[in-house]
Amino acid sequence: MGSNLAIRDLVIEYSSGGYPVRPIDGLNLDADSGQLVLLLGASGCGKTTLLSVLAAILTPTSGSVRVGDTEVTKLRGASLTEYRRHTVGIVFQAFNLVPSLSALENVMVPMRAAGVGRRASKDRSAALLERVDLGHRLTHRPGGMSGGQQQRVAIARALAHDPPVILADEPTAHLDYIQVEGVLKLVRELADDGRLVVVATHDERLIPLADAVVNLTPRADTSPREPEVVRLEDHQVLFKQAERGDLVYMVEEGQIEIVRSRDDGTEERLAVIDAGNYFGELAPMFGLQRSATARALGAAVVTGYGLRDFREKFQVASPKVLADAAD
Amino acid sequence: MLFVSLRDLQWRLRRFVIGVLATGLVFAIALLISGINASFQNEAKRAVRAFGADQWLVSKDSLGAFNTATPLDNGPGIAAEVARLPGVRAANPVLIFPFTVTKPSVRDLNVIGVVPNGVGAPVVTEGRGLKRQGDLVADKSAGLKIGETLRLHGIALHVVGRTSGISYNAGTPTVFVTFDDSQHLFFPGGKKGDLVREFTKGEASAIVVRGKVTRPPAELGVRTNAAILTDLRRPLKKATETISFLRFLLWIIAAGIIGSVLYLQAIERTRDFAVFKATGVSSRTLLVGITLQAILLAACAALAALAIAWALGPTMTLRIEVPPSAYLALPVVAIAVGLISSLFGLRRAVTVDPAVAFGGA
């Protein structure tokens, strides 16, 4: 279907609460037709943001996204509408069906908007709903259907123009395990039909279905590593806001200033860390980007510890598992 | 894509119906106000026309015969003199004045004294015209029946005929009496030889003329029917202007009602609009849908207005004369109001970010 996806040096930055946030920073990705690609990660890691860019709904800060021969970031006006209609089909997180329309009419909307005749769009919608096993629910409104059924209507709608790329945002988020099974099967079938299916999810149960997984939230590195001593000159930056990092730092000598950049280019000082105190533990613990910049106030010496060493040295407890469903 | 807009209206049917009824009521009031305004204009025209005059002679400093008339002494004598002027076929005096009946209840009348069978004598639709003293021809709006006797200032006046649609000053009914009887009513208590006013000389508001006066007697001015009409309408001018302004305000209220209904819907449909955009529905298609809803609401309101006005019209104490132009204008105004009010929702639909569709539940 010509749906090869090539993402190069993709950077997405936006403003949140007055601070610049960069959930995607230099992403590169290649995927082919017939593949099911999982964008895996916790909330706020940029999965949905990345899907929005693939759907040509959000313009990235920099980088390139190519689907087949189309450079998505360059699309404007009519070609943008055309791309959204014919190249990508979207399955939204909360189904996002129109409550006043029946299942059949919800699927008809993209086709009618593209100028497909009433009869033709009706017939194709009925066939698509038949394909997702909802042939008996054509005239039902979303309010009268289960979450799984609504999700299947949403998938049928995404297939309206038989697009080569399907984007699905948390397709299992609102479903119980019985409904999940049917939806997962359907998602896999979409890829098997030769489409490129990109699924954003935090649900690791989908991993066995995928052909490729893009982990947008790197796991904390708990492997043992030697402590790293860093000597800093006045104003020398130890790490920058939005960078990824896997070390927790202890101030041995001098002071470290923690500052956060604002949208307008100014900085806000959050704290000054004196000798004997540690900082920067949240990013490696939770796989987050650094939420602030650390730099020396005068000459300073810090030691960087891996997460395991940090926990052992400073007796920071790991959470205790109280119960396991497998037991 | 129109089916999406229609389904949405069905989905919010209760709100749509409330919007239609509220807007319909406003449209109906606007329609009735148009009818009242037209009634004020028409009744004055009918009142002037009822005299059947070509010209009016009034004192030189008077603008008309109804509101700014300086009484002419010896009206019958002047009329006789005017009747002999070249180009004049007939001329008679008329006395026009307001009169308040106090028994059995207080009510206002316009009294017009005319010469029986002369210029100014009314054309009756029931009964007969004035013949002699003691006769009274009343407009139907006065509520008097033929054969009824009205006793005013000690004079017994018998209703011998009725006219239709002759009122002025905001629906005040008109009665016609003989010119001689009008003198008694105008100067109650006066009698022959009175030192203050020799009423038998015949005070007149004007001399009504059939034909054309080219050279009026000294101290008299010639007024056309149009000038008389302007004079008659003048006291109500501010009232009619205010009514017209109120009608304009009502259109705005109607636009506000439709606008708020649509804006509320647009807010509720933000996610829908975002999904539509994300799935390739153009902004133009969304605009057409919202505009269609506005026009549909306004058109249904216009139909409701016709029914409401039809039901409410007869309950009004004032005569309502909704002009055909108002009925024709109603759908046009309704659609214009619908289009203007749709702007409230249009902006919302156009500016919604399709990325909203990616939000969670």
In the 3-class helix/strand/coil scheme, how is B74-119 assigned residue by residue? CHHHHHHHHHCCCCEEEEEEEEEEEEEECCCCCEEEEEEEECCCCC
Instruction: Say how far residue A252 (Cα) sits from the centre of its chain.
Output: 38
Q: Which residues of A299-311 are buried (b: 16+ CB within 10 A; e: fewer)?
A: ebebbbbbbebbb
pLDDT at residue B195, as a whole number: 43
Count H helices and E strands in chain B, helices first.
Answer: 9, 11
- For the record, the structure tokens of B121 come out as 């004598």
pLDDT at residue A324, as a whole number: 53
Instruction: Report in angstroms the alpha-carbon separations of B307 from B9, B13, B25, B311, B325.
Output: 22, 20, 10, 6, 17
Helix axes B237-268, B270-278, angle to 10 degrees: 60
Residues 6+ apart with CB under 8 A from A21: A13, A14, A15, A242
Asked if residue B320 has pLDDT above 90, the reply is no
Which of A83, A100, A128 to mutate against chain B (most B CBs within 10 Å)?
Answer: A100
DSSP 8-state code for residue B71: P
- For the record, the structure tokens of B144 come out as 């008097």
- B357 → closest Cβ in A96, A105, A110: A96
Q: What is the mean pLDDT of residues B77-92?
A: 94
pLDDT band at A10 (very low <50, low <70, confident <90, very high): very high
The upper half-sphere exposure of residue B12, i.e. CA atoms within 13 Å in the direction of its Cβ, equals: 21
pLDDT at residue B198, as a whole number: 47
Q: What is the mean pLDDT of residues A311-315?
A: 77
- For the record, the structure tokens of B105 come out as 């209840």
Could you give the CA distance from residue B344 to residue B290 in angstroms, rounded to a whole number? 10
Interval A15-29: pLDDT, tens: 888 888 888 888 999
* Start-to-end C-alpha separation, chain A: 46
Top mean-pLDDT range of A106-120, A307-321, B275-289, B331-345: A106-120
Tell me whether A59 touches chain B (CB under 8 Å).
no
B81 burial class (0-12, 13-18, 19+ CB within 10 angstroms)? middle
The upper half-sphere exposure of residue A224, i.e. CA atoms within 13 Å in the direction of its Cβ, equals: 2
pLDDT at residue B178, as a whole number: 95
pLDDT at residue A81, as a whole number: 84
Closest CA to A126 of A111, A146, A147: A111
Tell me whether A94 touches chain B (CB under 8 Å).
yes
Looking at CA atoms only, how far is residue B345 from chain A in angstroms? Answer: 18
Q: What are phi and psi of A169, to 5 degrees?
A: -105, 110
Contact (CB<8Å) B359/A94: yes
Lowest mean pLDDT among A64-78, A281-295, A307-321: A307-321
Asked if residue A65 has pLDDT above 90, the reply is yes
Could you give the CA distance from residue B301 to residue A68 in angstroms, rounded to a whole number? 52
B170 burial class (0-12, 13-18, 19+ CB within 10 angstroms)? middle
pLDDT band at B201 (very low <50, low <70, confident <90, very high): low
**Which of chain B's residues have a Cβ under 8 Å away from the Cβ of A98?**
4, 7, 272, 275
Closest CA to B273 of B285, B262, B261, B255: B285
Nearest 5 degrees, angle CA B7-CA B13-CA B288?
45
**What is the model's pTM?**
0.72
Could you give the CA distance from residue B189 to residue B153 in angstroms, rounded to a whole number? 8
Asked if residue B199 has pLDDT above 60, the reply is no
Looking at CA atoms only, how far is residue A91 from chain B in angstroms? Answer: 9
Tell me whether A288 touches chain B (CB under 8 Å).
no
Q: What is the mean pLDDT of residues B89-105?
A: 89
Could you give the CA distance from residue A146 to residue B339 in angstroms, rounded to a whole number? 39
- For the record, the structure tokens of B288 come out as 């057409």
Q: Which parts of A114-161 fold into alpha helices (H)?
A: 118-131, 147-158
B233 burial class (0-12, 13-18, 19+ CB within 10 angstroms)? buried
The upper half-sphere exposure of residue B21, i.e. CA atoms within 13 Å in the direction of its Cβ, equals: 6
Contact A230/A245 with Cβ under 8 angstroms? no
Q: What is the mean pLDDT of residues A39-45?
A: 83
Q: What is the mean pLDDT of residues A155-178?
A: 87
What is residue B9's three-state secondary structure? helix
Contact (CB<8Å) A98/B279: no
Asked if residue B193 has pLDDT above 80, the reply is no
Asked if residue A169 has pLDDT above 50, the reply is yes
One-letter amino acid of B224: T
pLDDT at residue A224, as a whole number: 78
Provide the mean pLDDT of chain B. Answer: 88
A-B Cβ pairs (cutoff 8 Å, strict): 80
**Which of chain B's residues have a Cβ under 8 Å away from the Cβ of A84?**
278-280
- Give the helix, strand, coil percentages of chain B, each rounded to 5: 50, 20, 30
Could you give the CA distance from residue A296 to residue A231 in angstroms, rounded to a whole number? 9
What is residue A199's three-state secondary structure? strand
- For the record, the structure tokens of A113 come out as 């908007």
Contact (CB<8Å) B3/A105: yes
- B357 → closest Cβ in A82, A92, A112: A92
Query: Which residues does residue B209 pair with via DSSP β-bridges, in sequence order?
Result: B55, B91
Interval A248-274: pLDDT, tens: 999 999 999 999 988 888 888 999 999
Q: What is the mean pLDDT of residues B303-313?
A: 91
Counted residue by residue, chain A has a size of: 327
**Which of chain A's residues have a Cβ under 8 Å away from the Cβ of B11?**
99-100
pLDDT at residue B346, as a whole number: 83
pLDDT at residue B192, as a whole number: 44
If you measure CA to CA, which chain A residue comes closest to B353? A57
A223 burial class (0-12, 13-18, 19+ CB within 10 angstroms)? exposed
Tell me whether B285 touches chain A (CB under 8 Å).
yes
Contact (CB<8Å) B282/A113: yes
pLDDT at residue B261, as a whole number: 86
Could you give the CA distance from residue B196 to residue B175 in angstroms, rounded to a whole number? 27
Asked if residue A219 has pLDDT above 70, the reply is no
Number of neighbours of residue A76 by Cβ within 10 angstroms: 9
Tell me whether A6 touches chain B (CB under 8 Å).
no
Could you give the CA distance from residue B2 to residue A46 in angstroms, rounded to a whole number? 36
- For the record, the structure tokens of B10 come out as 């069905």
Interval B3-26: pLDDT, tens: 898 999 999 999 999 999 999 999
Could you give the CA distance from residue A294 to residue A280 in angstroms, rounded to a whole number? 9
pLDDT at residue B58, as a whole number: 94
Query: Which residues does residue A294 pair with via DSSP β-bridges, in sequence order?
Result: A239, A258
pLDDT at residue B360, as a whole number: 54
Asked if residue B149 has pLDDT above 60, the reply is yes
Q: What is the mean pLDDT of residues B118-140?
A: 95
Asked if residue B142 has pLDDT above 50, the reply is yes
Could you give the CA distance from residue A253 to residue B84 in angstroms, rounded to a whole number? 128
Tell me whether A114 touches chain B (CB under 8 Å).
yes
Interval B206-260: pLDDT, tens: 999 999 998 899 889 999 999 999 999 998 889 889 988 998 899 888 888 888 8
pLDDT at residue B77, as a whole number: 92
Provide the mean pLDDT of chain A. Answer: 87
Query: Which residues does residue B55 pair with via DSSP β-bridges, in sequence order?
Result: B209
Asked if residue B48 has pLDDT above 80, the reply is yes
Contact (CB<8Å) A52/B358: yes
- A81 → closest Cβ in B272, B280, B360: B280
If you measure CA to CA, which chain B residue comes closest to A166? B279
Return the H-helix or E-strand segment holding B272.
Answer: helix B270-278
Could you give the CA distance from residue B342 to residue B294 in angstroms, rounded to a whole number? 6
Tell me whether B339 touches chain A (CB under 8 Å).
no
Nearest 5 degrees, angle CA A297-CA A22-CA A304?
40
* Higher local confidence (pLDDT), A318 or B168: B168
- B358 → closest Cβ in A92, A101, A160: A92
**Which of chain B's residues have a Cβ under 8 Å away from the Cβ of A53?**
none
Contact (CB<8Å) A57/B354: yes
Could you give the CA distance from residue B27 to residue B228 in angstroms, rounded to a whole number? 34
Contact (CB<8Å) B279/A112: no
DSSP 8-state code for residue A289: B
Tell me whether B280 touches chain A (CB under 8 Å).
yes
Number of neighbours of residue A296 by Cβ within 10 angstroms: 22
